[in-house]
Amino acid sequence: MSENCLFCRIISGDIPSDKVYEDEYVCAFRDINPQAPVHVLVVPKAHIASAADVSAENSLYVARCFEAIAKIAAAEGLGNGYRVITNCGEDGGQSVMHLHFHLIGGVKLSEKII
């Protein structure tokens, strides 16, 4: 837990959020500024700053995030597909420096970058 980190404070319950999933490793809550009908942030409970900070020591958290994504997507009715995005660092457009995966769906998504 990092005292100054917004997502650590959401995980701890210090700051309220609309949580949709939680387990020992993962917390997931709705994005405050949704870009699609379903827009959930899937966040490791360990403070990992970004994708650039994933290592052999903490990669279990990342694996658990993707296990959670599959469960949340099913629970949110995204059987027809969805997109998972992580922004990394300044050039990648990351604004909150706690690793998170945007789970986006509920509509036919356009604006593919890749």
Q: Where does this chain bind ligand DGP (CB under 6 A)?
A: 6, 17, 29-33, 41, 87, 93-96
Least distance from ligand DGP to the Cβ atom of residue 23, Å: 18
Least Cα distance to 25 among 75, 99, 104 occurs for 99
Smaller CB distance to ligand DGP: residue 60 or 85? 85
The single residue listed with the structure tokens 């917390």 is 27
Q: Which is nearer to ligand DGP, 16 or 79 (CB)?
A: 16
Smallest distance from the beta carbon of 98 to ligand DGP, in angstroms? 8
Q: Are 43 and 102 in contact (CB under 8 A)?
A: no
Active-site choice (47, 98, 100, 102)? 100
Is there a catalytic annotation at residue 100?
A: yes
Residue type, 92: G
Largest Cα span, the chain: 39
d(CA 31, CA 40): 5
Nearer to ligand DGP, 4 or 95 (CB): 95
Give the residue numbers marked as catalytic. 100
